[in-house]
Amino acid sequence: MAKRKNWKGTLFKWSKELISVFVLVTLVSLALDWYRSLDMPKGDAPTLQAVTLDNIPVDIIEQSHQEPVVLYFWATWCGACRFVSPTIDWFSNHYHVVSVALSSGPDQRVKQYMQAKDYHFPVINDANSLISRQWNITVTPTIAVINKGQIENISTGVTTPMGLWLRILSAQ
């Protein structure tokens, strides 16, 4: 009987520890998001009219009046983007996603990267960093959710599918 109580006590202790770590990681993540996005635009989204690598015109302000737009800033060389891009690819089948490849080389290189990874989300190649400067992007990945021309939220660094889904839901 003593072993059973000891097992339950250990399980309870570990559960408390895991919850504490989860809360701490969440708070640190929120603080980092807040700090990293201090210089990024707020309120009205900057105009972003461009053409994707597949020659499809994009106007995020206009598109955001139909449904929220997930704007994903990433790079082919970004380690954290390797964790986030599969989530973005999956979400692009269900939500409106526009991505901007930062400092990733010429169009052909970005296209080859997309094909090699089997990603299908639309990509604007920001080879000259004009878009990233306009948005003051300093961290990849950065994800902004735009709804009706307004920036609803911005997150930086790694995000989970659940975290992204909740951000999209909060923008609707």
108 phi-psi bin (left φ>0, alpha ψ -120 to 50, beta other): alpha
pLDDT tens digits for 47-77?
999 999 999 999 999 999 999 999 999 999 9
> For 86-101, what is the mean pLDDT?
96
What is the pLDDT at residue 31?
66
What is the pLDDT at residue 151?
93
Cβ-count burial of 135 within 10 angstroms (0-12 exposed, 13-18 middle, 19+ buried)?
A: buried
What is d(CA 28, CA 147) in angstroms, rounded to the nearest whole number?
27
pLDDT tens digits for 124-150?
999 999 999 999 998 899 999 999 999
For residue 96, pLDDT over 60 is answered with yes
